[in-house]
C-alpha cells in the first residue's frame, strides 16, 4: 500500500497494471522459494492489493488479463481429461467420486453440527460442499513436481473434479428433501439432543472483564510471536548466508536480527494492553496473581526468543553475555523502543485502515471557510434519552448554535428537517457548525447516553427446550400460566403431537407433554424447571 501511495503520481493505467502483475509474480516466486504453493503467494498478494485504495481501479485493469488466463486455465484443464484414461481407470475414478461426495458432505455436515447449526441447515451445508475445486489440480501438480505421486493421478483428479462439479447442483437441489426425510427417520432422542445442543450454543453470554484482558494478552502474544519467529527464520535463511564467510559474520547477522526484532520483543514483553481493564482487575485480590503471571510470562517468552536467536549465532556463554546486555539496553532505552514500535504500528494500522479512512474523508464535508464552519455526522445511540423528542423540544440550535442539515433513518433521508421532526435511536444526523460548536454537541450527545445496569449485562439469555410437566400450567393459556414472568422470557415455539407452532398467541392453551421453546434468563428457566 505504501509503495502504491508514494508512486501514485507516476502510475499510468499501463504502469499500474504492470506493477500489480509484477507484485503478484514476485510473491509467487517468493512463496515457491520458501517452500509454499505459488497459488498461496498469488492469493496473499491479491489480499494485500485488495485492501489498498487503488483496489477497484486495479481490479478493473486486471479483469481482461484475468478473463484471458481464466479461459486458458479451464480450457487447458478440460484438454487434460483423457477419455481413454477414464476408461482405463474408470473404477478408481468412480470410487474417488463417491468418496469425495460422501466424505465432503459428511465432514461438512458434522462440522456445521458441531458449530451449533440446526440439523436441516447442517445437511444443506454439507450437501452443498460435495465437490473438489481447482485447488485440487494445484495439489496434484505439486505432488507430481515433488515426485511423491504418479503421473496418472492428475487426469483422475481432473475427472473427479469435473464429475463432482456436475453433481453438485443436484446435491443442492435435493438437500432440503433429504434433510426432512432424515429428520423423520432418525431416532427422536437424537433429533432432540441435536436441537438442544444447537439451542445452547446460541446463548447470548456477557463478556467479563477477565475475558477481555485474557483475550488482549493472548492476541498480543500470538501476533508478536508469529512476527518474531518469521524474522528469525528469514534471518537464518537469507541474512546469515550472506555474511557468514566474513570475519564477524555471526556477530553481524545476530546484530541485524536483534535490531529488527527489538521493537517487537519490547511490544511482546512490556507493551501495556487493556490498561483500564487491568487496573480494574488489580483492585480484586483473586485476579492480582493471574495478571502478574501473565506479565511475567510475556517477559519470559521475549527473553526465550532473544536467547534462542543469540544461541543460534554464538556459543552459550557469549549468548548469555549478549542476553544480559540486551536486557540492560531494554531497561535503559524503553522510550526509544516504544516510539519506534509505535511508529511501525501506526504505519501498519494506517495502511490497514486506509480504505475506511479514505471513505470517511470522501464523505460530504463541505467546509464553510469564511465562517470556519463544516459538516459533521453523528448517530443517535440506542441508549440515548434524546430519542423520541422533537427538535423543538431539544432546542439544539438555541443551545449550541448548530443547524441540523439532514436526518438519515435507514434508507430514508430527511433533508432540512422541520422543528416537529423527532429523533429516533439509530438516526444519523448531519449538523453544520464550527469546531467548538460541534465538539460541545458531541459532548452533549455522550452525556445523554444511559448506562445499562451492570446486573443486566451479566445475564445469560438462552433458548431452552423443555417438556411441560408442571401441573400448575397445564390447561391454562400462555398468559395465565405466567411463564413469561417466571422465566423472564417468552415462548417462541410449541411442539404438540409432532406439529410445531412458531410464536404462539398468548391465548394458546397449554396441554400435558407439550414441548416448549423458551428464550429467557438461564437462571430463571432452571428455577422454573426445578419448580
- Cell numbers 502474544 correspond to what residue? 221
- Whole-number Å distance between alpha carbons of 469 and 529: 9
Beta carbons within 10 angstroms of residue 268's beta carbon: 22
Angle between helices 55-79 and 13-33 (to 10 degrees): 60
Q: Which of 325, 344, 342 is nearest to 255 (CA)?
A: 325
In a domain, 359, yes or no: no
- Domain boundary among the residues 201, 220, 253 is at 201
Whether residues 243 and 297 share a domain: the answer is yes
Task: Give pLDDT tens digits along the chain (531 positions).
Answer: 666 667 777 778 888 888 888 988 998 888 888 777 787 888 888 888 887 777 788 888 888 888 888 888 778 767 766 777 777 888 888 898 899 899 989 999 999 888 888 888 888 888 888 888 767 777 776 677 677 777 677 778 878 888 888 888 898 898 889 988 888 888 888 888 888 887 776 554 445 777 888 888 888 889 888 888 888 888 877 777 777 777 666 777 777 887 777 778 777 877 777 777 777 777 877 878 888 888 888 888 888 887 777 777 666 666 566 666 666 666 666 666 566 656 666 666 666 666 665 655 555 444 444 445 567 888 888 778 888 888 888 888 888 888 888 888 877 888 888 888 889 888 888 888 777 888 888 888 888 776 554 444 445 677 777 777 766 777 888 888 888 788 777 888 888 877 778 778 888 888 887 888 788 777 787 777 766
Whether residues 413 and 475 share a domain: the answer is no
Q: Which of 131, 115, 128, 132 is nearest to 178 (CA)?
A: 128
In a domain, 463, yes or no: yes
Q: Which of 52, 61, 25, 65 is nearest to 41 (CA)?
A: 25
Whether residues 218 and 258 share a domain: the answer is yes
Whether residues 219 and 289 share a domain: the answer is yes
Whether residues 190 and 303 share a domain: the answer is no
Please give the order of strands across the beta sheet that includes 499-502.
Answer: 461-467, 515-521, 490-496, 499-502
- Domain boundary among the residues 134, 167, 201 is at 201
In a domain, 502, yes or no: yes
Q: Which of 58, 67, 72, 75 is nearest to 24 (CA)?
A: 58
In a domain, 453, yes or no: no
Q: Which of 136, 114, 135 is nearest to 125 (CA)?
A: 114
In a domain, 73, yes or no: yes
- Whole-number Å distance between alpha carbons of 224 and 61: 36
DSSP run (H or E) holding 520:
strand 515-521
User: Which residues are within 8 A (CB) of 221 and not within 5 positions of it... i.e. 6 or more apart?
Assistant: 268, 297, 298, 301
DSSP run (H or E) holding 376:
strand 373-379
CATH number for the domain spanning 437: value is: 3.30.70.1450
In a domain, 360, yes or no: no
In a domain, 174, yes or no: yes
Whether residues 213 and 336 share a domain: the answer is yes
Phi then psi for residue 52, to 5 deg, are -85, 165
Whether residues 326 and 221 share a domain: the answer is yes
Burial status of residue 327 (CB atoms within 10 A of its CB: 0-12, 13-18, 19 or more): middle
Whether residues 133 and 23 share a domain: the answer is no
The pLDDT value given to residue 332: 64
3-state secondary structure 170-211: HHHHHHHHHHHHHHHHCCHHHHHHHHHHHHHHCCECCCCHHH
Q: Find out whether 516 and 525 touch, Cβ atoms under 8 Å.
A: no
Whether residues 191 and 257 share a domain: the answer is no
- The total number of structural domains that make up the chain: 5
DSSP reduced 3-state for 34: coil
In a domain, 225, yes or no: yes
* DSSP bridge partners of 415: 406
Whether residues 233 and 313 share a domain: the answer is yes
- Domain boundary among the residues 447, 472, 505 is at 447
Cell of residue 473, nine digits? 400450567
Please give the order of strands across the beta sheet that includes 373-379.
Answer: 373-379, 428-434, 403-409, 412-415
Whether residues 73 and 98 share a domain: the answer is no
- Whole-number Å distance between alpha carbons of 293 and 273: 15
Q: Find out whether 513 and 468 touch, Cβ atoms under 8 Å.
A: yes
DSSP 238: I
Whether residues 102 and 56 share a domain: the answer is no
* DSSP bridge partners of 430: 377, 406
DSSP run (H or E) holding 384:
none
Burial status of residue 269 (CB atoms within 10 A of its CB: 0-12, 13-18, 19 or more): buried
- Residue-number span of the structural domain to which 391 is assigned: 365-447
Cell of residue 334, nine digits? 524503553
Amino acid at each position: 500500500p505504501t509503495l502504491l501511495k508514494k508512486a501514485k503520481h507516476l502510475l499510468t493505467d499501463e504502469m499500474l497494471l504492470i506493477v500489480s502483475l509484477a507484485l503478484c509474480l514476485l510473491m509467487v516466486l517468493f512463496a515457491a522459494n520458501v517452500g509454499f504453493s505459488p497459488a498461496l503467494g498469488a492469493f496473499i498478494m491479491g489480499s494485500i492489493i485488495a485492501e489498498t485504495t487503488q483496489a477497484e481501479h486495479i481490479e478493473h485493469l486486471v479483469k481482461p488479463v484475468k478473463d484471458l488466463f481464466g479461459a486458458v486455465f479451464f480450457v487447458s484443464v478440460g484438454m487434460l481429461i483423457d477419455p481413454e484414461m477414464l476408461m482405463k481407470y474408470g473404477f478408481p475414478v468412480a470410487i474417488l467420486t463417491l468418496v469425495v461426495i460422501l466424505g465432503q458432505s459428511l465432514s461438512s455436515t458434522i462440522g456445521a453440527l458441531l458449530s451449533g447449526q440446526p440439523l436441516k441447515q447442517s445437511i444443506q451445508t454439507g450437501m452443498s460442499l460435495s465437490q473438489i475445486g481447482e485447488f485440487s489440480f494445484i495439489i496434484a501438480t505439486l505432488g507430481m513436481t515433488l515426485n511423491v505421486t504418479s503421473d496418472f493421478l492428475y487426469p483422475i483428479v481432473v475427472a473427479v473434479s469435473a464429475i463432482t462439479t456436475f453433481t453438485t447442483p443436484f446435491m443442492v437441489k435435493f438437500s432440503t428433501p433429504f434433510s426432512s426425510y432424515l429428520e423423520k427417520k432418525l431416532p427422536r432422542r437424537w433429533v432432540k439432543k441435536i436441537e438442544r445442543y444447537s439451542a445452547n450454543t446460541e446463548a447470548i453470554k456477557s463478556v467479563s472483564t477477565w475475558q477481555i484482558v485474557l483475550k488482549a494478552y493472548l492476541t498480543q502474544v500470538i501476533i508478536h510471536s508469529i512476527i518474531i519467529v518469521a524474522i528469525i527464520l528469514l534471518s537464518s535463511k537469507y541474512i546469515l548466508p550472506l555474511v557468514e564467510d566474513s570475519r564477524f559474520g555471526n556477530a553481524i547477522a545476530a546484530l541485524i536480527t536483534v535490531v529488527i526484532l527489538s521493537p517487537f520483543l519490547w511490544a511482546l514483553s512490556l507493551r501495556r494492553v487493556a490498561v483500564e481493564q487491568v487496573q480494574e482487575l488489580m483492585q480484586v485480590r483473586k485476579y492480582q496473581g493471574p495478571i502478574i503471571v501473565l506479565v511475567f510470562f510475556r517477559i519470559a517468552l521475549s527473553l526465550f526468543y532473544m536467547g534462542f536467536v543469540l544461541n543460534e549465532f554464538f556459543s552459550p556463554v557469549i549468548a548469555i553475555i549478549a542476553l544480559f546486555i540486551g536486557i540492560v539496553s531494554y531497561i535503559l532505552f524503553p522510550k526509544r523502543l516504544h516510539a519506534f514500535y509505535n511508529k511501525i504500528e501506526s504505519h501498519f494500522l494506517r495502511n490497514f485502515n486506509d480504505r475506511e479512512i479514505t471513505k470517511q474523508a470522501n464523505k460530504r464535508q463541505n467546509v464553510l471557510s469564511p465562517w470556519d464552519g463544516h459538516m459533521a455526522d453523528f448517530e443517535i445511540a440506542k441508549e440515548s434519552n434524546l430519542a423520541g423528542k422533537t427538535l423543538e423540544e431539544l432546542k439544539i440550535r438555541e443551545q449550541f448554535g448548530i443547524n441540523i442539515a439532514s436526518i438519515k433513518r435507514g434508507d430514508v433521508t430527511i433533508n432540512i428537517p422541520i422543528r416537529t421532526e423527532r429523533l429516533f435511536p439509530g438516526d444519523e444526523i448531519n449538523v453544520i457548525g464550527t469546531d467548538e460548536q460541534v465538539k460541545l454537541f458531541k459532548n452533549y450527545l455522550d452525556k445523554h447516553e444511559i448506562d445499562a445496569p451492570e446486573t443486566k449485562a451479566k445475564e445469560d439469555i438462552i433458548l431452552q427446550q423443555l417438556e411441560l410437566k408442571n401441573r400448575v400450567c397445564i390447561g391454562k393459556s400462555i398468559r395465565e400460566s405466567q411463564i413469561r414472568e417466571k422465566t423472564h422470557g417468552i415462548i417462541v415455539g410449541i411442539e404438540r403431537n409432532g406439529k410445531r407452532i412458531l410464536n404462539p398467541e398468548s391465548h394458546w392453551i397449554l396441554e400435558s407433554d407439550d414441548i416448549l421453546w423458551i428464550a429467557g434468563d438461564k437462571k430463571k428457566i432452571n428455577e422454573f424447571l426445578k419448580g
